Amino acid sequence: MRPINHTAPKRSAAPVFWLLFGAGGMLSALFGPALIILTGFMIPHGWGLPATFGDFPHVLAFARHPLGKLVVLAVIALFVWHGAERMFLTLKDMRAGKPRLLRLVTYGVAGLLTLVTASLLLAIGF
């Protein structure tokens, strides 16, 4: 008889990435279409909004407000993490490389973009 293994099983980091993927998927499913209509069509072409709506002072004020910062960080970071997880799974299924490498590249890009977003939001000031 073999002795019972008393060491705890190694914890996986997968749930963390799965959570980011799910949060990004849900946020984009609920508000994504409206956000694209807003920033892609209405604000640049002035549809239904005053011309000053997307100008420098107003958008800067939004990005300087703590709540505005939270919105910008949540939208950009979670959207990117969602896309990274899907890109990773697709590339893994296509056997584009070793899963470890694919994970490093896709999660790496998402992590880097999250850091850049957070740094820019801090650099823009309060």
Provide the minimum distance between the beta carbon of 107 and another protein in the complex, in angstroms, as a whole number.
12
Q: How far is CA 62 from CA 20, 67, 81, 124, in A?
A: 25, 8, 23, 11
For residues 31 and 101, which CB has a smaller minimum distance to another protein in the complex?
31
Alpha-carbon span 112 to 108, nearest angstrom: 6
Alpha-carbon span 87 to 116, nearest angstrom: 20
Provide the minimum distance between the beta carbon of 100 and another protein in the complex, in angstroms, as a whole number.
20
Q: Which residues of 78-109 are buried (b: 16+ CB within 10 A; e: fewer)?
A: bbbbbbbbebbeebeeeeeeeeeebbebbbee
- Other Cβ atoms closer than 10 A to 66: 9
For residues 19 and 29, which CB has a smaller minimum distance to another protein in the complex?
29
Residue 46 DSSP symbol = T
Provide the minimum distance between the beta carbon of 1 and another protein in the complex, in angstroms, as a whole number.
29
* By CB under 8 A, residue 10 contacts another protein: no
**Interface positions, 39-98, toward another protein (CB under 8 A):** 39-45, 48-50, 52-56, 59-60, 63, 72, 75-87, 89-90, 93-94
* By CB under 8 A, residue 112 contacts another protein: no
Residues that bind another protein (CB under 8 A): 24-26, 28-45, 48-50, 52-56, 59-60, 63, 72, 75-87, 89-90, 93-94, 110, 113, 116-117, 120-121, 123-124
